[in-house]
């Protein structure tokens, strides 16, 4: 997944690391766009054997893949809940702006015509996914590609957490690339303490604005202060707005989301960064069991934050 993972738990099993690594390799083989032979890469490149084209749409049939299925189905639900701001079909745009699986190249001259053309392929509403008794049928625009990078790490965290539960772990913390799920208590008998990074371009990774305490909850964060580049004096970050086709730069510096599962926390953190501060503050209050901390910069350039109505109890005093 292009990142690191950390697991702390109360199991004493020498084989656990090998089992975890095997699970992560299996998930990658289904949903990683960086793996040319992964299932998602074959879908994106139209390499599924049973494929037909009808009026510019491809119809594919293939065996069910639980990892792919779960990411697709939850992504579609969150796409609808966020009015299309969470949209995994931005893959072509992510590649255009230099943040995808293609060779990393900074955009020096923006081609608005090309962006408009790409946007005709973007839109999760264009994709349908139906499970039959023997196979899955997927329909998509011929050139369209899908990207689960804004939800797959959260999915992997949840999957590993369920695996540890089945093995009998009562206390654990699973973290992949900063996305976290916790259960029970840490080795000191307290709720797990997680730091929310300072959302500044030059901030060290161990600089925190807030500490939160979690038990049986997930946390995921998103921001434009790590993955970005400067071209001709302008900042381009990896959060792509699926409606405009451009990297989204708004008042938000970062968002941290608490949810019952990491998949949701991961996806909503990305959606909120694209939606902007005010729209996200309204949206989070509409969704049950979801809380968020929104970081932004005030008129003096100082980092401030707003909390959803139920976030404050999680803050470590």
Strands 50-54 and 57-62: antiparallel
Residue 296 neighbours by CB under 8 Å, 6+ apart: 251, 252, 253, 277, 303, 304, 305, 306
pLDDT at residue 297, rounded to an integer = 85
CA distance 313 to 245: 37
pLDDT at residue 198, rounded to an integer = 85
Q: What is the pLDDT of residues 262-281, one digit of tens each?
A: 999 999 999 999 999 999 99
Q: Which residue has the higher pLDDT, 151 or 208?
A: 151
Domains (range + CATH), the chain: 152-314 (3.10.520.10)
Q: Which residue has the higher pLDDT, 52 or 69?
A: 69
Q: If pLDDT is split at 50, 70 and 90, which confidence band does 180 have?
A: very high
Quote the percentage of the chain above a pLDDT of 90.
75
- CB of 129 within 8 A of CB of 59? no
The mean per-residue pLDDT over the stretch 289-317 comes to 92
């Amino acid at each position: 997944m292009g990142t690191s993972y950390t697991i702390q738990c109360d199991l004493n099993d020498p084989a656990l690391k090998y089992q975890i690594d095997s699970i992560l390799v299996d998930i990658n083989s289904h949903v990683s766009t960086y793996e040319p032979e992964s299932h998602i890469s074959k879908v994106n490149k139209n390499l599924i054997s049973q494929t037909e084209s009808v009026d510019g749409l491809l119809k594919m049939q293939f065996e069910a893949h639980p990892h792919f299925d779960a990411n697709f189905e939850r992504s579609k639900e969150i796409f609808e809940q966020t009015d299309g701001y969470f949209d995994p079909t931005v893959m072509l745009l992510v590649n255009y702006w230099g943040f995808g699986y293609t060779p990393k190249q900074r955009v020096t001259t923006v081609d608005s015509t090309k962006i408009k053309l790409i946007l005709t392929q973007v839109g999760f509403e264009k994709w349908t996914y139906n499970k039959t008794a023997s196979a899955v049928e997927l329909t998509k625009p011929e050139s369209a590609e899908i990207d689960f990078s804004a939800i797959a790490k959260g999915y992997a965290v949840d999957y590993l957490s369920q695996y540890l539960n089945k093995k009998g772990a009562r206390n654990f913390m699973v973290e992949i690339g900063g996305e976290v799920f916790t259960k029970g208590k840490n080795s000191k008998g307290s709720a797990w303490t997680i730091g929310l990074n300072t959302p500044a371009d030059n901030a060290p990774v161990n600089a925190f604005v807030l500490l939160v305490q979690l038990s049986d909850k997930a946390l995921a964060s998103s921001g434009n202060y790590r993955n970005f580049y400067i071209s001709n004096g302008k900042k381009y970050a990896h959060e792509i707005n699926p409606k405009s086709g451009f990297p989204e730069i708004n008042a938000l510096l970062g968002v941290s989301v608490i949810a019952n599962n990491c998949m949701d926390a991961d996806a909503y953190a990305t959606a909120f960064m694209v939606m902007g501060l005010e729209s996200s503050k309204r949206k989070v209050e509409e969704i049950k069991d979801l809380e968020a901390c929104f970081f932004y910069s005030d008129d003096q350039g100082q980092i401030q934050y707003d909390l959803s109505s139920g976030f404050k109890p999680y803050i470590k005093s």
